[in-house]
Amino acid sequence: MATRTRRPERREEPLSRERIVEAAIGLLDAAGEGGLTFRALAQRLATGPGAIYWHVTGKDELLGAAADAVIAGAMTAGTADTAPREAVRALALGVFDAIDAHPWVGTQLARAPAQLPLLWVFEHLGRQVQALGVPHAAQFTAASALLNYILGVGGQNAANARGHQPDTNRTEFLNTVSAAWANLDPDEYPFTRNVADQLRDHDDRAEFLAGIDLILTGITAGQQPPAPAP
């Protein structure tokens, strides 16, 4: 009788903090913060909640670690040989895209202003503000203005995306809102009616970068020598 050769058992990838964080990001992306439970995480990882607690102490730590991982990925591009203005634009767009892809990140960043990874973003913005030659007394204000704009617009963009009806895409949504703006009372909303077509046709990322450029122009305007009197 021929003997049957036993196939080697497939070894599962060992549980690690990195695997847990990766799975947590997947749950957060799919179901938001409310969908991140240790029971759901254990099911996704095919393990028990106790094994997860060996690596993380609770949901708050896990949320922080997930946000760390996402923002770290958005800040991988080197800026050592990049002009300060372009470095700020690249960093800002990286965070904007990260929040767009992971809407829960914006809420997590705003919730923990004194913790990583928000401090990473602030630190990198601050270095570029220094490189722009902004006086020390104005550096905190300049870096804060950039940070608040990035988080505010990034978070609002993500909220708008989540606010669409399930069967409505971005173009349909903007067409609907633009039409509503165009039909507002002309005496009460003359400006809003006038830019309704720009709302319909705008590009989110391009508008975001245009706002960054406006802030950078304001930051550096005070450093220009006054024009000679005619």
pLDDT at 106: 86
- Measured in residues, the chain has a length of 230
- Percent of the chain exceeding pLDDT 70 equals 83
How does DSSP classify residue 114? T
The answer to whether 88 touches 125, Cβ cutoff 8 Å, is yes
pLDDT at 183: 93
pTM equals 0.82
Closest C-alpha to 130, from 224, 220, 195, 10: 220
What are the tokens at 38? 């240790």
Burial class (CB in 10 A: 0-12, 13-18, 19+), 52: buried
pLDDT at 125: 95
The answer to whether 95 touches 71, Cβ cutoff 8 Å, is yes
What are the tokens at 206? 């391009």
The answer to whether 148 touches 113, Cβ cutoff 8 Å, is no
Helix (H, G, I), strand (E, B) or coil at 73: helix
The list of the chain residues with pLDDT below 50 reads 1-11
Burial class (CB in 10 A: 0-12, 13-18, 19+), 154: buried
- How far apart CA 82 and CA 153 sit, in angstroms, is 24
Neighbours of 164 (CB within 10 A): 13
Closest C-alpha to 63, from 117, 126, 15: 117
pLDDT at 8: 38
Q: Which domains does the chain have, with CATH numbers?
A: 80-221 (1.10.357.10)
Q: What pLDDT digit, counting tens, does each position of 20-68 carry?
A: 999 999 999 999 889 999 999 999 999 998 899 999 999 999 999 999 9
Closest C-alpha to 69, from 51, 56, 54: 56
- How far apart CA 61 and CA 53 sit, in angstroms, is 11
From the DSSP assignment, how many helices (H) and strands (E) are in the chain?
12, 0
End-to-end CA distance of the chain: 108
